[in-house]
Amino acid sequence: MAGDNAWLEALGVRHPIFAAPMAGGPSTPELVAAVSDAGGLGFLGVGYLSPEDTRATIRRVRALTDAPFGVNVFIPEEPKGDARHAVIAMKTWLREWVDDPAVAAEIDAIDPRFPTFAEFEAQMNVILEERVPVLSFTFGCPEADTIGRWKESGACVIGTATTPEEAVALERAGCDAVVAQGYEAGGHRGSFLPIDETRRIGTMALVPQVVDRVRIPVIAAGGIMDGRGIVACLALGAVAVQMGTSFLVTDESGAHPAYKRAVMEWRDRGTALTRSFSGRHARGIRNAFIEAVDREEMDIPPYPLQNTLTQPIRRRAAAEGDAERMSLWAGQGYPMAKSMPAAERVRELVQQMERVKSLLR
Ligand SMILES: Cc1cc2nc3c(=O)[nH]c(=O)nc-3n(C[C@H](O)[C@H](O)[C@H](O)COP(=O)(O)O)c2cc1C
C-alpha cells in the first residue's frame, strides 16, 4: 500500500509496517534502524530503561539511520492497594520453586516498589529533548495537557487501546493515532480501563470497531505475521500494522538465543495470557514457570512488583540459556515466525502484500 496513505507519507514512512516496540532487549537500535531504513517504522521500547540509557539508545539509532523511528514508553501505574501480604507469600513460593540458594537469597533481598512519577518525568524529559519523530505509549492514558506538551516537541503521539472505549479515551486526550491491540498480541496488554475477561477482543473484531469509533488513524496489532494479515488489517480500515513477534526472531533482535530458539522450535506449545512473570497480563509461550505459577492460583502482586520479584529467576535463566524460566513473550501467530535479517523481512512482507492484493483484484 506504499504511496497511497497520506498519514504515513507525512511521517516519511513508505510501508504500512511498524516493528513493535519490544522493551527488555529485543528492540535494539540495530533492529529499529534496519526496519526504518527498509521503509517501515522501527520502534525502540524504552519502558525499562533509565533516562541516561534512554538518551544513549535514541542517539545510537540516530547514528545508524536518518529515517524516522518511534520511541515507546510505559505509563506508570497508580499503586494498587496494599500488596505486602501478596509480596511476602510470593517471595516464599518463588524461593522454594527456584531450588537454588543463591537465587533464593537474591529474591529474599528484594523490596519491590512502584516507580515514582518523578522517575517517569525524568525519562520523558530526555525523550522530549531528543525530539523523536514518533512517540507511543502503553498501559495508560495521560491527561490532555501532558499529551499536548509531548506533541509540542514535534512528536506524533500514539496511544495503545485494547477496547473501543480505550481508543475513544485516547482520541479525546489528544492522541494523533491509536494502536488497536487484539487479544492475540504477544507481550503485555496495554489495557488501562477495567475490563472483564469477556471483553478481551481479537484483532479481527477490534480493529473495525475502533476504526468506526475514532477519527484518528488506527494501527492494528496482534497475530499479524505475513502479507495476508497486513492486507486483512488494511481492509478492516487500519492505516498500518504493528508486528512484534514477526520481528522478534530477526537477526538484529536482541532476544536471547534460547528465546529465539523456543519461538522457532516450540511450535506446538501454544501461548498463555498470564500475570505470572510481571503481575500484568501478557502473552507468552507456555513454559515451566508459567505452568507452575498459574497452577497455584496464587495472589500475584501487581505490576511491576511481580516483575521485580521474578527478575533473579529470569537473570539466572538467561545466564544458563534455560527457556523454561524466561519470559518468552510471543503472540498467537508465533509458529509462523521466520528468522532472517529485518530488512529482508520488511521486503518479503511488502512482496507478500502485493501478491495478496493482486489476488483480490
Ligand atoms: C517481546 C515483546 C515485547 C513487547 N514490548 C512492548 C513494549 O515495550 N511496548 C509496547 O507498547 N508493546 C510491546 N509489545 C506489544 C507489541 O506492541 C504488539 O502489541 C504485539 O507484539 C503485537 O502482537 P504480535 O506479537 O502477535 O505481532 C511487545 C510484544 C512482544 C512480543
Q: pLDDT digit string (tens) for 107-142?
A: 999 999 998 899 999 999 999 999 999 999 999 999
Distance from C-alpha of 213 to C-alpha of 156, rounded to nearest angstrom = 20
* Closest alpha carbon to 123 in 111, 135, 133: 135
- Residues 172, 225, single domain; the answer is yes
Distance 20 CA to ligand 1 centre (A): 5
CA dihedral 192, 219, 262, 289 (to 10 degrees): 10
Asked if residue 123 and residue 208 are part of one domain, the reply reads yes
The answer on pLDDT for 77 being more than 90 is no
Please state the domain count of the chain: 2
How many A from CA of 242 to the centre of ligand 1? 8
Residue 329 pLDDT > 90: yes
Give the number of the atom of ligand 1 that is nearest the alpha carbon of residue 26: 1
99 in any annotated domain: yes
CA distance 277 to 187: 11
Position 198 scores a pLDDT of 73
Q: 188 with 72: CB under 8 angstroms?
A: no
Whether residue 260 is contained in a domain is answered as: no
Within-domain flag for 257? no
Residue 194, domain extent: 6-79+115-252+341-360
The DSSP symbol for 338 reads: -
Report which secondary-structure segment, H or E, holds 181. Answer: strand 177-181
Q: How far apart are CA 20 and CA 295, in angstroms?
A: 31
Structural contact between residues 74 and 23, judged by C-beta atoms closer than 8 angstroms? yes
Q: What angle do CA 346, 349, 355 make, to 5 degrees?
A: 145
Indicate which residue's Cα is closest to atom 5 of ligand 1.
Answer: 22
State the average pLDDT over residues 74-91. 91
Q: Are residues 145 and 247 both part of a single domain? A: yes
Average pLDDT, integer, range 56-76: 98
Query: Pairing between strand 282-285 and 187-188?
Result: antiparallel
Mark whether 94 and 162 lie in a shared domain. Answer: no
Closest to 16 in 3D by CA, of 1, 36, 6: 1
Nearest C-alpha to atom 4 of ligand 1 is from which residue?
A: 22
Kindly tell me if the per-residue pLDDT of 162 is higher than 50: yes
- Given pLDDT bands bounded at 50, 70 and 90, which one contains residue 4? low
pLDDT of residue 217: 98
Res 297: pLDDT: 84
**Same-domain check for residues 216 and 277:** no
The residue behind cell 514535534 is: 154
The better pLDDT of the pair 218, 361 is held by: 218
> With 80 as the cut, is the pLDDT of residue 360 above it?
yes
Tell me which of 329, 334, 338 to substitute to probe ligand 1's pocket, judged by most ligand atoms within 8 Å of the beta carbon.
329
Tell which wins on pLDDT, 116 or 241. 241
Domain membership of residue 336 (yes or no) is no
Q: How far is CA 150 from the centre of its chain?
A: 20
Cβ-based neighbours of 106, under 8 Å, separated by 6 or more: 312
Please give the Cα distance from 187 to 202 (Å, whole number): 15
What pLDDT is recorded for position 207?
A: 98
Which atom of ligand 1 lies closest to the CA of 330?
31
| CA 19 to centroid of ligand 1, rounded, Å | 9
Say whether both 54 and 189 belong to one domain.
yes
Same domain, 198 and 56: yes
What is the predicted pLDDT for the residue at 3? 42
As a whole number, mean pLDDT of residues 181-194 equals: 96
Q: What is the pLDDT of residue 79?
A: 82
User: What value does the mean pLDDT of the chain take?
Assistant: 96
Out of 8-17, 111-120, 140-149, 219-228, least confident range: 111-120
Q: Which grid coordinates belong to 183? A: 487479544
Residue 328: pLDDT above 70? Answer: yes
Kindly state the cell numbers that stand for 69.
523511528
Strand order of the sheet with strand 17-19? 17-19, 240-243, 218-221, 177-181, 156-161, 134-138, 69-74, 42-45
For 4, the grid coordinates are 497511497
